[in-house]
Amino acid sequence: MMPPHRNSHVKRHCSRGGCQNGSVSSEKFTVQRGSATLAAERWAGEGPPVVLLHSGVTDRRGWYAVAEALQPHSTVVAYDMRGYGDTSGVTYGF
């Protein structure tokens, strides 16, 4: 897992409408790499890290239920690939 860039934006929030009633808190952050700003979310837990990659039809929010289930046993990170969710798109040709 790449550590957040020094100028990363970090915002803590809770899934399922709030931190009450047993919902799991996560931390949103961004990582600046070149011209791209990658949006990610982390659920801090015990054990080895797990990185969740979404398909080309969704964004990191598609992993919320899985991340919450894994969180007690792992630190889980899900990020938005370029052009999806809160991550910036590609600004150059391929």
Give me the residues paired with residue 30 across strands: 39
Q: Is residue 49 part of a domain?
A: yes
Q: Is residue 5 part of a domain?
A: no
Q: Is residue 19 part of a domain?
A: yes
Asked whether residue 9 carries a pLDDT value surpassing 50, the answer given is: no
Cβ burial of 67 (10 Å; 0-12, 13-18, 19+) is: buried
Q: Is residue 22 part of a domain?
A: yes
- Please count the CA atoms within 13 angstroms of the CA of 15 that sit on its side-chain side: 21
The whole-number pLDDT of residue 67 equals 94
Give residue 63's domain range: 10-79
Q: Is residue 94 part of a domain?
A: no
Q: Is residue 92 part of a domain?
A: no
Q: Is residue 72 part of a domain?
A: yes
Number of compact structural domains in the chain: 1
Sole residue written with tokens 């929010």: 61
Q: Is residue 28 part of a domain?
A: yes
What is the model's pTM?
0.69
The pLDDT-based confidence of 36 (bands split at 50, 70, 90) is confident
